[in-house]
């Protein structure tokens, strides 16, 4: 039966390429698809010496670009020129199987330079997406890129946090981070994120060493903050959380719910439909870990030495408009600006746990979870 299928596929390929159907349009999509599927069945993936076969493969790939089959065939036929398209898929879908498979295919070509170019580029959204995707691959090649990125001192705190979290996805990566913490070289800005990741490790030795080397911050009642993996198991009071949100928690000073609050950070009217409880705790306790696009902080240094920090609202050839943490919009003349620095951090304070107890934090998250789309 196997031999029969082999000969059947071979005959199909001969007929497709042979003189008996030369009247068929050489660029017929159906014909190209048949050629590629036949080559796959025959496991004949080296088409470098056959111009007709390679042309059919190339045209068919163009027709199915962006699909799972595209990734499969690019990898099978080793079409290295498709690396930019694969990277684009990884950036667009870093949390989906297709995106991870696409970036895995790029690494299988040994094309680490193209991946590193995105990481070092100016597009922070693309950088974070690729870093997150590398963490989900979990191979030695992906870990090597992530560790190299970590050691290169990423240009923003958001990218640094994303990189360390991606490193923490594998045991070798966790061991690397533990050694950094024990040596005192783990940056303070990532200790909360790394601590939470390693406290949740299923490796008892890593978990034990993490608790000894990384201390999570204390809350308002001077009690150590539990890891997020424990916080999400607690039950909060949404009614009390609403009161805390608009008063003691100071959340409404920067966020709107409906018509209430200030529009400095993202509106939270439907946040319960968008984020899980784990993501909500992370956003409160480590806001720079997932700062939203267009809400990154900028520092504007003026020629007279003043420094303004806030969210960029607009920038033209003549003016730069920034919104401060107090919700005040400042318009500056470009002629008065010495330097504009994109910090990559969130304007939201990273130590809100000092204002609240563990139960109060849990209550606020319980309230946020009620803010769902009607």
Does 70 have pLDDT greater than 90?
A: yes
Coil/strand/helix, residue 47: coil
Q: Where are the alpha helices (DSSP H) in the chain?
A: 2-17, 29-42, 51-63, 68-76, 83-92, 97-108, 112-120, 124-137, 140-151, 157-167, 171-182, 191-199, 204-213, 228-231, 238-246, 277-285, 358-368
Does 145 have pLDDT greater than 70?
A: yes
CATH of 296-346, one of 2.30.30.100, 3.40.50.1110, 3.40.50.720, 3.30.70.580: 2.30.30.100
- Confidence at 167, pLDDT banded by 50, 70, 90: very high
Task: Spell out the domain ranges in the chain.
Answer: 228-290+350-368, 296-346
Calpha distance 215→218 (Å, rounded): 9
Q: Which residues contact 292 (CB under 8 A, 6 or more apart)?
A: 265, 266
Q: How is 333-364 classified by DSSP, letter by letter?
A: EGGGEEEEEEEEEESS-S-GGGTS-HHHHHHH
What pLDDT is attached to residue 126?
94
- The β-bridge partners of 307 are 301
Calpha distance 187→154 (Å, rounded): 12
The share of the chain scoring above pLDDT 70, in percent, equals: 91
- Confidence at 175, pLDDT banded by 50, 70, 90: very high
- Least confident interval from 146-160, 205-219, 252-266, 284-298: 284-298
What pLDDT is attached to residue 91?
96
Is residue 361 a contact partner of residue 231, using CB atoms and an 8 Å limit? yes
- Least confident interval from 142-156, 243-257, 280-294, 330-344: 280-294
CATH of domain 228-290+350-368: 1.10.760.10
Is residue 93 a contact partner of residue 99, using CB atoms and an 8 Å limit? yes
Does 15 have pLDDT greater than 60?
A: no
Query: What tokens were used for 335?
Result: 């002629």
| Choice between 45 and 243, residue whose per-residue pLDDT is larger | 243
Hunting for tokens 């890593």 — which residue is that? 206
| Choice between 14 and 123, residue whose per-residue pLDDT is larger | 123
Angle at 93 between CA 88 and CA 98, to 5 degrees: 90
pLDDT in tens, 20-64: 333 344 578 889 889 889 998 988 888 888 888 888 899 999 999
Calpha distance 273→368 (Å, rounded): 9
Give the number of residues written for the chain: 374
Give the mean model confidence (pLDDT) for residues 271-280: 90
- Confidence at 117, pLDDT banded by 50, 70, 90: very high
Q: Which residues contact 212 (CB under 8 A, 6 or more apart)?
A: none
pLDDT in tens, 304-347: 878 888 888 889 999 999 888 778 888 999 999 988 888 777 77
């Amino acid at each position: 039966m196997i031999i029969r299928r082999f000969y059947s596929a071979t005959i199909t390929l001969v007929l497709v390429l042979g003189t008996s159907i030369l009247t068929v349009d050489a660029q017929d999509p159906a014909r190209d698809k048949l050629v590629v599927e036949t080559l796959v069945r025959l496991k004949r993936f080296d088409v470098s010496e056959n111009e007709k076969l390679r042309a059919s493969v190339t045209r068919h790939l163009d027709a199915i670009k962006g699909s799972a089959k595209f990734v499969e065939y690019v990898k099978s036929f080793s079409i290295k020129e498709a690396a930019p398209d694969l990277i684009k898929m990884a950036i667009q879908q870093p949390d989906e199987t297709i995106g991870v498979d696409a970036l895995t295919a790029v690494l299988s070509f040994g094309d680490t330079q193209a991946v590193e170019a995105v990481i070092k580029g100016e597009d922070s959204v693309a950088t974070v997406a690729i870093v997150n995707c590398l963490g989900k691959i979990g191979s030695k090649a992906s870990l090597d890129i992530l560790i190299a990125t970590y050691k290169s001192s990423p240009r923003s705190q958001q990218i640094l946090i994303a990189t360390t979290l991606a490193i923490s996805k594998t045991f070798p990566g966790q061991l690397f981070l533990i050694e950094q913490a024990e040596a005192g070289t783990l940056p303070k800005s990532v200790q909360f994120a790394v601590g939470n990741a390693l406290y949740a490790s299923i490796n008892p030795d890593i978990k034990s060493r993490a608790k000894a080397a990384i201390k999570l911050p204390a809350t308002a009642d001077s009690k150590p903050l539990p890891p997020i993996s424990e916080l999400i198991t607690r039950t909060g009071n949404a009614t009390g959380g609403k009161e805390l949100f608009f008063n003691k928690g100071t959340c409404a000073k920067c966020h709107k719910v409906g018509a209430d609050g200030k529009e400095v950070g993202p509106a939270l009217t439907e946040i319960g439909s968008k984020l899980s409880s784990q993501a909500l705790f992370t956003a409160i306790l480590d806001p720079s870990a997932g700062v939203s696009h267009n809400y990154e902080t900028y520092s504007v240094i003026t020629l007279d030495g003043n420094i303004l920090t806030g969210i960029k609202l607009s920038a033209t050839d003549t003016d730069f408009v920034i919104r401060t943490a107090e919700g005040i919009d400042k318009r500056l003349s470009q002629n008065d600006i010495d330097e504009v620095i994109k910090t990559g951090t969130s304007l939201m304070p990273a130590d809100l746990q000092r204002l609240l107890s563990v139960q109060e934090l849990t209550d606020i998250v319980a309230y946020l979870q009620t803010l769902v789309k009607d």
